[in-house]
Amino acid sequence: MLLKGKKGLIVGVANNKSIAYGIAKACKEQGAELSFTYLNEALEGRVKAVSDELGGKYVYPLDVNKDEELESLTKYIERDFGKIDFLVHSVAFAPKEALAGKFVDTTKEAFNVAMQTSVYSLVSLTRACLPVMNDNGSILTLTYLGGPKYVPHYNVMGVAKAALESSVRYLAVDCGDRGIRVNAISAGPIKTLAASGIGDFRMILKWNETNSALKKNVTIQDVGNSGMYLLSDLSSGVSGEVHYVDAGYNIMGMGRVDKDDEDRTILAWDKVK
């Protein structure tokens, strides 16, 4: 098994439908020993249920915006694991009102919240875990096409994802001296708890299914398997990259115009407009 003997921390799993769950499950199937974090008491039960299902030994409280909890996390890992081999960062948030209307109307407060929680948390979490991470380890975060390109209703989160992808590159260099790799997966749209806050999300799913190279949407299993690859030694020569798992949607320059799908494409485009 590819991850036998490896220990990892999963930050940001919400339930068994989240992308982080797909990655954790794929890692578990390849022999990894897992630990998880939960944000607050309201989510503690959900995360513990996932941990129990996947044989996780430890579940830690963690609000990535609280320095004292990051410091405690380092101590918990050192106490329970000694060292870990990989870290999954699946944390993003923006106020709901910042995902509606025009981006130009984003408030300073909403912008700062999105950047701190969705971007700086990768930096602070990496810094907290480096002392308890083995050399030649791997760090993985999650991004989306709305970072490098415009996606309707993504607004400030798109700007945050662009900053996150840039952070991946800078962190990859900072961590490279120890052989620790830092990468991101840009997943296609998936029905998750986080996606529920994006307007017209059903339309976005249909548009991607109609217009991706593979003419389908991806699943958390698809993303999970790619995540496992980036966390394993199979990707030992890969760092600072954004790996797309979106059925090839990101390569498309415009909507598909296949004869059989022409009506569906026009209908989808009309809905977007």
pLDDT, tens digit, 9 for 90 and up, residues 102-128: 999 999 999 999 999 999 999 999 999
Q: Output the CA–CA distances (angstroms, integers) from residue 133 to 7, 29, 128, in the order listed.
A: 10, 22, 10
What pLDDT, on a 0 to 100 scale, did the predictor assign at position 262?
52
Among candidate residues 194, 25, 233, 196, the one with its CA nearest the CA of residue 93: 194
Q: What is the pTM of this model?
A: 0.92
Residues in the chain, pLDDT under 50: 273
What pLDDT, on a 0 to 100 scale, did the predictor assign at position 190?
87
What pLDDT, on a 0 to 100 scale, did the predictor assign at position 196?
55
Tokens representing 208?
A: 């991607």
The side-by-side arrangement of strands in the sheet containing 7-11 is 58-61, 33-38, 7-11, 84-89, 133-143, 181-187, 242-245
What pLDDT, on a 0 to 100 scale, did the predictor assign at position 72?
98
Please identify which of the residues 38, 60, 76, 144 carries the catalytic annotation: 144
Q: How far apart are CA 70 and CA 65, in angstroms?
A: 8
7-11/33-38 β-pairing? parallel
What pLDDT, on a 0 to 100 scale, did the predictor assign at position 265?
52
List the beta strands (DSSP E) in the chain.
7-11, 33-38, 58-61, 84-89, 133-143, 181-187, 242-245
pLDDT, tens digit, 9 for 90 and up, residues 135-158: 999 999 999 999 999 988 899 999
58-61/33-38 β-pairing? parallel
What pLDDT, on a 0 to 100 scale, did the predictor assign at position 20?
96
Catalytic residue list contains 144: yes
Q: Output the CA–CA distances (angstroms, integers) from residue 152 to 99, 137, 253, in the order listed.
A: 9, 36, 16
Please identify which of the residues 60, 154, 229, 249 carries the catalytic annotation: 154
Catalytic residue list contains 150: no
Domains and CATH numbers, the chain: 7-193+217-250 (3.40.50.720)
